[in-house]
Amino acid sequence: MSILKRLPFFSLALLLLTYTTISWVISKAHIPQFMWLLAVISILCLMGGLTTSWTRLTNYSFVLFKSNLGSFGMTLVGAFLFFLMIVSFRVFVNTLLIVAVAVLARIDFQTAGFNQGQTFWFLSIFSLTGLALGAMLHKLI
């Protein structure tokens, strides 16, 4: 079957629309140029984390919980993230929306039979395209 017939267009459209909207908001805030680079790196890290196999992730996470110091550090990080979630709820909701749409697209790609590499590249390309599209639309309008 052709790749175009297997593509989950609805999930990709949601992904593109979400990143376009978030990029519009970021562009409206007039942030410095290096923050755009940080956004691109974080998008690639998110897509890489979503497309990595879960067994590999569990091997890395067990390293953090083997010692008492690692468990304590992860507890502190979790508490700090919970504090940030409460303090800046709007940022948390936007981040949750991005992660939820990316997970939906990942599940649709997995159901369609794509491998991890193809899924990573499709999700990354559509996410970065949405990021660029939102910034360009804000500059043009």
The tens digit of pLDDT for each residue in 90-106 reads 888 888 999 999 999 99
- pLDDT tens-digit profile of 118-134? 999 999 999 999 999 99
Q: Is residue 2 part of a domain?
A: no
Long-range contacts of 32-41 (CB under 8 A, 24+ apart): 36/135, 39/131, 40/128, 40/131
Of 36, 46, 37, 41, the residue nearest 15 (C-alpha): 46
Q: Is residue 92 part of a domain?
A: yes
The tens digit of pLDDT for each residue in 29-73 reads: 888 888 899 999 999 999 998 888 777 667 766 766 777 787 888
Q: Please report whether residue 79 resides in a domain.
A: yes
Q: Is residue 3 part of a domain?
A: no
pTM above 0.85, yes or no: no
Q: Note whether residue 40 is domain-resident.
A: yes
Between CA 51 and CA 98 the distance in angstroms is: 15
Q: Residue 96 falls within a domain, yes or no? A: yes
Number of domains in the chain: 1
Q: Residue 14 is part of which domain span?
A: 8-140
